[in-house]
């Protein structure tokens, strides 16, 4: 499908671009920064299955959280899980922690052969919209054309979802 190929190229361009775009103008010397994919290090993480009564700000909750070392591998296993793979996946972290880079690495390298990944930033969503409408809106922003997913159910559009906060 042409749309999926465009997404694959979009995410590949992002991770192969330099970590900092820097133009020195007419200077003979040039600073060369590494590609984003070359600086990505699978990070240690903590994971919780969220329940309504939980408050993520309470430090007690995190004492019993699962801890791991390779977040990309863990997210792949969660998405493949028959129960958890159908639930939304929320990636939380402080500013600059690497949430966006992680999402692009998942899309371009870790999950690209199994899933059709569309990254939707939380700030771009409208809470009242259905997931299908949010996916359609993101695709229209990304591809600058109408994508028309409104006729699909959430299961057809993709059961697993991730949000980058």
Q: How many CB atoms lie within 10 A of CB 107?
A: 23
% of the chain residues with pLDDT over 70: 83
Please give the C-alpha separations between residue 133 and each of 55, 99, 130, 140, in angstroms, as whole numbers.
Answer: 28, 23, 5, 10
Element at 90 (helix H, strand E)? strand 88-91
pLDDT digits (tens, 9 = 90+) for 5-38: 888 888 888 888 888 877 766 666 777 888 888 8
The two tokens of residue 64 are 């019993």
* pLDDT above 70 (res 72): yes
Domain parsing of the chain, residue ranges? 2-18+34-49+56-164
What is the rounded distance in angstroms from the CA atom of residue 35 to the CA atom of residue 133? 33
14-18, 23-27, 62-66, 145-149 — which is least confidently predicted?
145-149
Please report which confidence band the pLDDT of residue 143 belongs to, taking 50, 70 and 90 as the band edges. Answer: confident
- The residue ranking higher by pLDDT, 115 or 128, is 128
Rank 17-26, 27-36, 75-84, 106-115 by mean pLDDT and report only the highest. 75-84
Q: What pLDDT is recorded for position 153?
A: 45
Q: Which residue has the tokens 């430090």?
A: 59
């Amino acid at each position: 499908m042409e749309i999926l190929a465009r997404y694959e190229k979009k995410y590949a361009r992002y991770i192969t671009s330099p970590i900092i775009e820097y133009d020195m103008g007419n200077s003979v010397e040039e600073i060369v920064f590494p590609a984003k994919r070359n600086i990505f290090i699978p990070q240690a993480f903590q994971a919780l299955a969220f329940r309504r009564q939980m408050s993520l700000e309470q430090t007690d909750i995190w004492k019993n959280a699962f801890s791991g070392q390779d977040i990309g591998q863990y997210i792949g296993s969660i998405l493949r899980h028959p129960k958890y793979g159908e639930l939304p996946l929320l990636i939380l972290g402080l500013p600059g922690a690497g949430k966006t880079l992680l999402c692009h690495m998942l899309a371009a390298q870790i999950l690209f052969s199994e899933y059709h990944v569309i990254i939707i930033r939380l700030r771009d969503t409208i809470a009242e919209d259905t997931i299908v409408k949010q996916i359609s809106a993101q695709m229209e922003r990304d591809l600058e054309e109408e994508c028309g997913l409104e006729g699909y159910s959430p299961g057809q559009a993709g059961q697993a979802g991730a949000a980058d906060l």
